[in-house]
Structure 1
Amino acid sequence: MIIFPCAKINLGLNVVERRPDGYHNLQTVFFPVPICDALEIKTMDEHFPSAVACDLKVTGNAVECNEADNLIVKAYNMIAADFDIPRVHAHLYKNIPSQAGLGGGSSDAAFMIRLLDQRFRINIGNAAMESYAARLGADCPFFISAEPAYAEGIGEILSPVNITDHNLKGHTLVVVKPDVAVSTKEAFSHIKPCQPEVCCRDVVAMPVEEWKSLLKNDFEDSVFSFHPQLKEIKERLYAFGATYAQMSGSGSSLFGIFNSKVDKEEAEKAFADCRTFVIDF
């Protein structure tokens, strides 16, 4: 059985306060985008000599962690601890760029929970799957439904937000991933938590033309100070005609929203030094 974990972008990302536990409370809008991995599982024969219950093979983009630390394996072990499911072979084809602010690892974990639930008819239910996913990462619960959502807390408190039919239909999204890795430590190093003038949930209900002055990613100032080439890419997106441009998450991907169709070849040429994805809404 196969499933296709999707990526996400953040439409606005505000760090509003530091928590007593050392984490930060956020406000953001998660928006799913069809940049996808492929994840397949097959039941392992009972006689197959495997030392692990979830035997993972990764192809496509390199993943910089060992098998036991991969969130797909952790998701399997977590579900297997509570439900009687067989051992599996898992194959992940990695297409979503890593360390990009696109949520690829979190998506793989959440979709593994969904895949196990479907394949072995566990019937966990979305709310319980979101609870399991939250144990693996703050943005993992979003990928259980993978629908646009307003997120609070550390990213795990979700509520619906409906924006596509109002103001993104007919637009084109260009996602640009340079060969830059951004660490979480770097991203938080210069952050000064504060409440935004207008909540991102309210901004995304407005026409895209109004977003530039109101919708912010608070990580940009910090990350751009370490990686000025990311700021330059954002400026290039605007020069290329974007109505709105922003870094996603803590980077290093950036995206531009265009109010008309973008030619894929022209976009790839304009950002030839990066991986470029063109998506029509």
Structure 2
Amino acid sequence: MICFPNAKINLGLNIVGKRPDGYHDIETVFYPVPLKDALEIVAADNQSFTQTGICVEGLPENNLVMKALRLLKESHPIPFLDIHLLKAIPFGAGLGGGSADAAFMLKLLNDFCELGLSTEQLEEIAIKIGADCPFFIQNKPVFASGIGNVFTPVELSLKGYYLCLIKPDVSVSTAEAYSLVKPQKTSISLQKIVQKPLSEWKQYMTNDFEKSVFARHPLIGEIKEKLYQSGAIYASMSGSGSSVFGLFPEQTDLKDHFSDCFVWEGSLL
């Protein structure tokens, strides 16, 4: 059985408060995009996990796909499986690729093993893996608050627009990015901003990480500016980076403009 975990982008991201537990309260909008990994499981005599495609650092047993498997095995009978992950979503990019793989693994096991878990039960398990992991269970646009784990559905469709996604060979530490941001309340909620015409997003929508990340990694800021110069209606860094995306009214072909970067271009659903 096979599935295709997809990435997400952050439409705006505001750091609105510091919590007593050391985490930060945020506001953002998660939007699913059709850049996808491939994840396959088949029955086997022994447990195995292999990965191809983009190389992911770390031991195989620490992959979030395996964490999802272990969590389900704590309460449900799961047979030995051959698991293969074809990685196409860059990691460390603010695209949620690892969380998507884990969430889709939960859904895949639920179907393959006929566990009968509800959407709510799958989300309860997914939150143990990561704050944004439950998003990929329903995989629909949401306004995310709290630490990024409280979801409110958003009526939003970007169907017909084209996405150009750029990931430079730059790593951004999420912990470092948070340490450089001063939390502050927003004057207009992202819930209202995303209901405005896309042409107005540039005026109202912000990612609070950009100022400090662009200062330390100017290349990321330059990519955003090039996307606007190339005709993007809206462009932003996703999450804490290092990927940057642009939304365009027409199909793009910008690979030659970003020859030293990972580039994905396609229409949004």
- Whether these two folds match at TM > 0.5 is yes
Instruction: Report the counterpart of residue 159 of structure 1 in structure 2.
Output: 152
CA distance in 1, matches of 2:113, 2:17: 41
Q: CA deviation at 1:85?
A: 1.5
Q: CA deviation at 1:186?
A: 2.1
Q: Deviations over 1:181-223 (max 9, x none)?
A: 1111221121100111211111111101110111011111121
Say if 1:173 and 1:278, in contact at 8 Å, map to a contact too: yes
Instruction: Report the counterpart of residue 38 of structure 2 in structure 1.
Output: 38
How has the CA–CA distance of structure 1 residues 91 and 198 changed in structure 2, closer, same or farther, with 3 Å as cutoff? same
CA distance in 2, matches of 1:134, 1:226: 31
What amino acid does structure 2 have at the position aligned with 1:226?
A: R
CA distance in 1, matches of 2:187, 2:245: 23
1:84 is paired with a residue whose SS is: coil
CA distance in 2, matches of 1:170, 1:34: 13
Instruction: Report the counterpart of residue 203 of structure 2 in structure 1.
Output: 213
Which of 223, 227, 237 is the equivalent residue of 2:227?
237
Instruction: Report the counterpart of residue 175 of structure 2 in structure 1.
Output: 185
Q: CA deviation at 1:15?
A: 0.7
Say if 2:30 and 2:141, in contact at 8 Å, map to a contact too: yes
Instruction: Report the counterpart of residue 2 of structure 2 in structure 1.
Output: 2
Q: CA deviation at 1:62?
A: 0.5
What amino acid does structure 2 have at the position aligned with 1:206?
A: K
Instruction: Report the counterpart of residue 148 of structure 1 in structure 2.
Output: 141
Q: Deviations over 1:210-242 (max 9, x none)?
A: 101110111111211210110111110111111
Instruction: Report the counterpart of residue 71 of structure 1 in structure 2.
Output: 64
Instruction: Report the counterpart of residue 267 of structure 2 in structure 1.
Output: 280
Say if 1:186 and 1:222, in contact at 8 Å, map to a contact too: no
Q: CA deviation at 1:106?
A: 0.5
Q: Deviations over 1:12-70 (max 9, x none)?
A: 1111100010000111100000000000011122xx4xxxxx42101000011101211
Q: CA deviation at 1:148?
A: 0.7
CA distance in 2, matches of 1:152, 1:146: 16
Calculate the aligned-residue CA RMSD, in Å: 1.0
CA distance in 1, matches of 2:48, 2:128: 21
Say if 2:162 and 2:252, in contact at 8 Å, map to a contact too: no
What number of residue pairs does the alignment pair up? 268
Q: TM-score if structure 2 supplies the norm length?
A: 0.97
Q: Deviations over 1:94-139 (max 9, x none)?
A: 0000110000001001010000001011011111101100000010
User: Unaligned 5+ residue runs, structure 1?
Assistant: 49-53
Match runs of 1:104-115 below 5 Å: 104-115=97-108
Say if 2:166 and 2:264, in contact at 8 Å, map to a contact too: yes
Ranges of 4+ aligned residues in structure 1 off by more than 6 Å: none
Instruction: Report the counterpart of residue 254 of structure 1 in structure 2.
Output: 244
What amino acid does structure 2 have at the position aligned with 1:43?
A: A
Instruction: Report the counterpart of residue 176 of structure 1 in structure 2.
Output: 166
CA distance in 1, matches of 2:206, 2:252: 27
CA distance in 1, matches of 2:263, 2:43: 36
Percent identity among equivalent residues? 49
Say if 1:186 and 1:223, in contact at 8 Å, map to a contact too: no
Instruction: Report the counterpart of residue 51 of structure 1 in structure 2.
Output: none
